[in-house]
Amino acid sequence: MKEENEHIKELARRLFAASISCWQGISLQHAYNEWVKTQEGEIGSYWIELAQQVTAHHFQREPASND
């Protein structure tokens, strides 16, 4: 179970790094390295804010119509 949790965390790191890479126009490896070294692999506040911007930009939803 512990190995499975670590695997899931690693997948999340890679997905997050890919989002940052696309948003900032930096290499995927650079984004991943920056994130991993921040707070020893934890998400620092800068990265959380950036992730929220990425999410808001790429996944904006149109308001549901009540027609």
pTM of the model: 0.41
DSSP 8-state symbol, 63 = P
Where is pLDDT greater, at 54 or 43?
A: 54
Q: pLDDT tens for residues 24-47? A: 777 777 777 776 666 555 556 666
Give the residue extent of every domain in the chain. 2-42
- Identity at 63, one-letter amino acid code: P
Distances from the Cα of 61 to the Cαs of 3, 46, 49, 50, in angstroms? 36, 24, 19, 19
Within 8 A by CB and 6+ apart from 32, the residues are 13, 14, 17, 21
The pLDDT of 6-13, averaged and rounded, is 76
Percent of the chain with pLDDT over 70: 52
